[in-house]
Amino acid sequence: MDSRASATVGPIIFPFTGASVGGSHISTFHLARSLMLDHRIRCIVIAPAASSIARQASEMGLEVQATADAPAKARKPGSDLIRLPRRMQALRLYGPHTVVHCNDLWTLQSWGFAGRLLSLPVVYHHRVILTMSRLDRALVRIAQAVITISEPCRRNLGFLADHRVHSILNPFPGPALERPAGWRAEFGARWQDRRPILVGFVGNFQYRKRPDFFLEVCQVLAEREPDARFIIFGRERDYQSKDLEDRARELGIADKVALAGFRSPTEMNLATLDVLLAPALGEPFGRTLVEALLLGVPFVATDDAGHSEIVARWSGGHLVRPDATAEQFADAAVNVLAASGDVALSLEARHRVAEELAPRLHAAKMLGIYRRICLATQ
């Protein structure tokens, strides 16, 4: 590392305005940790004090600047305009080499705009697939550098020239590559009458992630595989736990379904499973799918967006058409269960993927971008 070059960059500010933690936040926090530990770059997470984001960042050992703002529930240009002088003052305190790294359009509007008014370098990390409005496009253009996490995300920004956009895969620090001992104990004990085949869903309960469709697939699997049991891990979002419990009851599989809530680390959830089902549509990349293939857990996923890219890069599971019926999804799951040893990646292949996704490589690529835009603005 060239410490003299690094001295002209930083601190890196990672602002957030919302309340809840998702995969994009975790990827950001791992980037910040690697920049700090591997490159000695100061990183600061700015987030509402009353948010899971601030709490999670602190638990991961990051420096957190808590704000008195209530977690945002919508983009409000008027409110951001009122808070603009205060945000500019906060950024000004960090010095002339500060980089403002925004991970969603909300923070690009609120903190990224403040950074640009101070002539600070602004990075926008595009981690979603959106219908981009004129305002969205205008906001993205204020960033000196734009990062995308997958080819589908890059296509979503087709209005930007190639030299403006950098594609960098999300980091996965020290992933579990083998299942720990006792990984089935909890859920094996839940259904003591037999050795269950454990089929799982891991993700927030959002419409596009389709936990309701997962349950429809489970109904088909329950008819074909009497030993199949189903576990749902995740946080309430568009659906509440009661919604899914009611749906399982309507489908006649309530006694075979366990709603296990959100648990961390995700690897421990995945290690429980014989097969992961990922019916989400429009997934920008699919962190859970990567965690599954790194752990050697075979999966069935929709052949859409980031899922398609993951399987094309590394394999590790089977894909089904986005419009597949519950019966077709179940067919694929049965096929994967019958040949799971052939579908899952070998340990050697998992080590190669883990090295490709190491945080130190991710951070080094990001640091190169920070340096270039800092030189351009100094």
271-310 pLDDT tens trace: 999 999 999 999 999 889 999 999 999 999 999 999 999 9
229 shares a domain with 128: no
pTM of the model: 0.88
Does residue 300 share a domain with residue 166?
no
Residue 3 pLDDT greater than 70, yes or no? no
pLDDT at 6: 46
Q: How far is the CA of 359 from the CAs of 105, 272, 279, 285, in angstroms?
A: 24, 26, 28, 16
Q: Mean pLDDT across the stretch 214-230?
A: 97
Please count the other Cβ atoms lying within 10 Å of the Cβ belonging to residue 88: 16
**243 and 341 belong to one structural domain:** yes
Amino acid 1: pLDDT: 42
More confident of the two residues 174 and 242: 242
What pLDDT score does 193 carry? 62
228-268 per-position pLDDT tens digit: 999 999 999 999 999 999 999 999 999 999 999 988 778 88
Do 123 and 198 fall into the same domain? no
Residue 178 lies in a domain: no
pLDDT band at 185 (very low <50, low <70, confident <90, very high): confident
Clarify whether residues 214 and 342 are in a common domain.
yes
pLDDT recorded at residue 4: 39
Same domain membership, residue 324 and residue 193:
yes
234 & 276 share domain: yes
Residue 185 and residue 223: Cα distance in Å, rounded? 25
Residue 235 forms part of a structural domain: yes
**Has residue 111 been placed in a domain?**
yes
Helix (H, G, I), strand (E, B) or coil at 3: helix
The answer to the question of residue 107 being in a domain is: yes
Residue appearing with tokens 């090295």: 355
pLDDT in the model for residue 169: 94
Residue 233 has which token pair? 């891990």
How many Å separate Cα 21 from the centre of its chain?
A: 9
User: How many angstroms separate the Cα of 373 from the Cα of each of 42, 98, 280, 370?
Assistant: 17, 11, 36, 5
Q: Verify that 132 and 17 share a domain, yes or no.
A: yes
Residues 227 and 243 in one domain: yes
Which tokens go with 188? 């094996």
CA distances from 164 to 123, 139, 342 (A): 11, 14, 41
Exposed e or buried b per residue across 190-222, where buried means at least 16 C-beta atoms within 10 angstroms of its C-beta: eeeeeebbbbbbbbbbbeebbbbbbbbbbbbbb
**Whether residue 334 has pLDDT greater than 80:** yes
Q: Provide the pLDDT for residue 5.
A: 47
Structure confidence at residue 2 (pLDDT): 46
**Token reading at 134:** 């004129």
Q: Which domain holds residue 221?
A: 185-355
* Region 188-200 average pLDDT: 81
Which residues of 22-98 form beta strands (DSSP E)? 43-48, 63-67
CATH number of the domain that 279 lies in? 3.40.50.2000
Q: Clarify whether residues 282 and 349 are in a common domain.
A: yes
Do 344 and 370 lie in one domain? The reply is no
> Are the beta carbons of 124 and 155 closer than 8 angstroms?
no
- 19-73 confidence digits (pLDDT tens): 988 888 999 999 999 999 999 999 999 999 989 999 999 999 999 999 999 999 8
In a domain, 179, yes or no: no
Tokens linked to 370: 């920070």
Does residue 320 form part of some domain?
yes
Domain for residue 215, yes or no? yes
Pairing of strands 317-320, 299-302: parallel
Q: For 90-125, how does the pLDDT look when each residue is reduced to its tens digit (9 = 90+)?
A: 999 999 999 999 999 999 999 999 999 999 999 999
Q: Give the pLDDT confidence score for residue 190 in this predicted structure.
A: 79
Reported as a single tens digit per residue, the pLDDT across 81-91 is 999 999 999 99
Q: What's the CA angle centered on 220, arms 217 and 226, to 5 degrees?
A: 120
Output the six-digit token pair for 39: 């490159």
* Domain contains 180: no
244 and 311, same domain (yes or no):
yes
CB 159 within 8 A of CB 132: yes
DSSP letters of 276-299? EEE--SS-SS-HHHHHHHHHT--E
Residues 279, 301 contacting (CB under 8 angstroms) = yes
Mean pLDDT of 151-162: 96
Query: How many domains, the chain?
Result: 2
